Structure 1
Amino acid sequence: MKRLATGLFFVATAIFVLAFALEPSMPGWAYVRAAAEGAMVGALADWFAVTALFRHPLGLKIPHTAIIPRRKNEIGRTLGTFVETEFLSDAVVRQKLESIGIARGLGDWLRRPENAERVSREAATALGGVLSLLDDSDVQALVEKLARRHLLEPEWAPTLGRLGERMLVAGQQTPLIDAGLDTLERWLEAHPEAFGESVSNRLPRWVPRVVDKLVDDRAYREALRFVAAVRADPEHPLRLAADRYLDGLFTDLQNDDATIERVEKLKSDVSASPRVHEFAVEAWAAVSETLDASLTDPDSDLRRGIVRALGDIGERLRTDATLAAKIDAWATDAACYLVANHLSDIASVITDTIEKWDPQETSEKLELQVGRDLQFIRINGTVVGALAGLAIFAVASGLRAVLG
C-alpha cells in the first residue's frame, strides 16, 4: 500500500513535468498541470500527516510529529480511562450480563455429556495437583489436631448419655439386643463342647464323669431354650432388665460424677495412646490414596458421580426458571461488585501494559494494524488534490477571462 501511494505521487510528478513542458505550446495542458500540481501537494501533505503519527518525517524532529511513540504512555492512560468509564461502568456491565442469561447458557453447556466430562477431567486434574502439593506430615498433624480438639477434648460421658437416651426412646436398642442374641445362639450351636466344659469344670472333682456329661447336656439345652425364649418374647424379663440397665447407665453418664470420671479416665488413656497419631496417619493415607486413584480413573465412581451431578445441574439450570433467575442475579451482582471495587485495577492493566511497550515497537505494531487504511488516506489525498487543483485553476481561469 505504501508503494501504491508513493507510486501515485511519482505518476503525478511525471505528469506535472510533462504538462509544464508542453504548456507554452499547448495551453490546454495548463489544466493537466494544475491537476498534477494539486495531486502532488495532496500526496505530500497526507504523506506528512500519516508519517507524523508514527515517526519524524525524513528524520527531521519537527514539532508535533512522531505522536504515537512520544505520547505512548498518555495514550495508554487515556485508553484505560476510556475503557473504565465507558465499558466497565456498573450500568453497562449489569445490562450486558442481564441480557446474556448466564444460568441458562451454563445449563445448556453442562447438560452435554462431553462438556460435563471435560469439567470433571479438569476438576480432577486440579484436585490431583492440590493433593500432590500437600505435605503428608502437615495433613496428618492437622487430622490429629482436629481429632483431639473435636473428639477428645469434649466430655464423652454426657454426649454418650444423651445419644443413649435418644436410642432408648426410639427403641433402637432392640435390634442391638437381637443381634447379640443371634450371635450368642450361633456360638452355642457351633460350640456345644466348649459350653459344656465351661459348666462341668465348675463341678466338684468327686462328681462322676457320667454326671458331668448329663449336667453339660442339660445346661446346654437350657441355655439354647433360654436364648430362644428371649429372642421370641419382646417383653421377656431379660429384655426389660437390659432396658432398665441401659436407662440407668445413660442417666449416670449424664449426671453421676463417678461414672463421668471413669469415662474421662478412659478418654485420657485413649488420648495418651500413640494410636491417635497412628489413626491420623492411616486415615490420611487411606483418604489420599483413594482420592488419587478415583481422580485419575475416568471410570471411577467419583468421576462418574461428578459427571452425573454436573449433567443434573445443567438440566435444572435449563428448566428451572426460578433457580436460573437466582443464579443470574447472583452472578450479575458478584460481577458488578468486583468491577465496582476493582475498576481501577482492571483498567490499569491496559495502562501498565502499554507503558511497558517499547515506543518504536508500539509504533510499528499500530502501523501494521491500521497502516493499510492510512495509505488509502494518501491515495485519496492525491486524487482529491488533483481534483481540487483542477477546480481551482479552472475557476481562476474563468474569472480572469470574465474580468479580463
Structure 2
Amino acid sequence: MSIADRLERLPFSSFHYRLLLLGGAGYCFDGLDGAILAFVMPALQHVWGLSMAQLGLLGSGAFFGYFIGALTAGAVADRWGRRSVMMWALACYCVGSLISALCVSWHGFVLARVLSGIGTGAESAIIAPYLSEFVPRRYRGIFTGALAGFFSFGFVAASLLGYALVPGSENGWRWAIGLTACPVVMLLWWRRALPESPRWLLATGQGDTAHAVLCKIEKNIGVLSPSYEAESVPSIKTSFAGQFVGLWRAQLWRITAMSWVLWLAVTFSYYAFFSWLPTLLIARGFTITHSFGFSIAICVAQIPGYFSAGFCNEYFGRKTTIVTYLGAAVISAASMALVSSSTGILIAGILLSFFMNGTFAGVYAYTPEIFPTALRATGMGSASAIGRIGAIAAPLLIGALYPKAGFAGVFGMTALILLFGALSILVFGPSTVNLSLEEIESTY
C-alpha cells in the first residue's frame, strides 16, 4: 500500500485534532501580530507625531517582512522540509515582536516590524500546505478551513488587548505588542509534537523515513501498518530558481497566475480594512473608546465567518465557497461606502468582516491543493508573498487616498478589487472537490 493510500485511509482522530490545535495556535498568533498594529497606530501617531503618510509606512513594515518570509520559506520548505522552517519562523516572529515593544523611535519600530513580519510570513505560508498533507480528502476542506479560522481568535485577542491596554496609559501600546511575543513557548511543544510530512519525505526520495513516520502515526491511532514496499517516486532536486520557474511551466502557469491575482486582491482588501479600521472610525468622528468597541464587534464576526466557510469548503467545494463569499464581501464593502449612520457602518463592517474572513478560509484550503507536492510550499509561499504586496500597498495607499476620497472612496475601491479577485477564480480556478492531492496533481 502506497504512502498516499495509507494517509487517505486514516480515520480522523486525536492525531489530526492535535495537528489542528498546533497549527491553529500558530495562525492565532499570526492573526494577533497582524491585527495588533491597527490598535496601537492611534497611540503611536500621538506619541511620535506621525503624519498619515508616515503612519502608512509604519503599517507597511511588517507586511514587507511578510513578503520576504513567505517568498523564501516556501522554497526552503520544499527543499529542506516543512517542520524546521515553522519553528525558525516562530522564533524570528517572537524576537521581532519583543524588540518592537522596546523601540523609542518610529524608524526602529518599522525595522523591528520587518523582522517579526519575516517570521510571521514564513510561518503563515507553511502551516496550511504542511498540515494538509496529513489529512484525507474527505476531511481536508473543513480541516484547513477550520485551521485558518484560528486567525480570527488572534484578531479578537488583539482587539481585546488594544481596548484594555492602549487607552489606559502612555506605554499601554508597549505592553500590547510585548504580549504578542509570548508564543515563543510553543517552540518546545512543536519540537516534540510535529512530525515531518510523509508526502514530502517520499517526494524527496526518503521513502524509508516516510514509512517510519507513518508507522508511528498509525500506531498512535490504532491502525495496523502494512509491510513497507519501496515506491518508485523519483527524488526531485532543483535549484531555488528552478522551483520558482517550475510554477510557470506549461501545466501550472494558469494556476500560478490565478492564485497570485486571488491572493493579491483578497489580501489587499483585507488589510485595507483591518489595518486602518480604528483609525478610519476615529477620523470619521468616533471617540477612540467607541472606535475600539466597534472594532471588537467587527473582529468577533471573523469567527463565524471562518468556520462557516470551513463547513462550506467540504460540502460545496473550495472554489464555490470562495466565489460566493467574495461576492458577498463586494456587496458589504459597497454598503460600507454608502451608509452614513453609525449603526449602518457597524452592520456593514460586521458583514464585511464575516465574508472577508470566510474567503480566507477557502483560500487557505484551496491554494495548497492546486500545486503538486514537490512545489506545494513554493506555490503557497509565492502566492502568499504576492498577497503581501497588497498588504504592503494597502496602508500606504489608504493613507494617501483617504484625505482625497474619504471613507466612501476607500471602501468603493475595496469593493472593486474584491470583484476582480472573484472573477479570477471563477474563470481560471480548477475544482478540487473530493479529490486526493495525488489525483489533483495527476490532472496537470
The answer to which structure, 1 or 2, has the higher relative contact order (CA under 8 A, 6+ apart) is 1
Q: If the length of structure 2 is used for normalisation, what is the TM-score? A: 0.18
Which structure is larger by alpha-carbon Rg, 1 or 2?
1
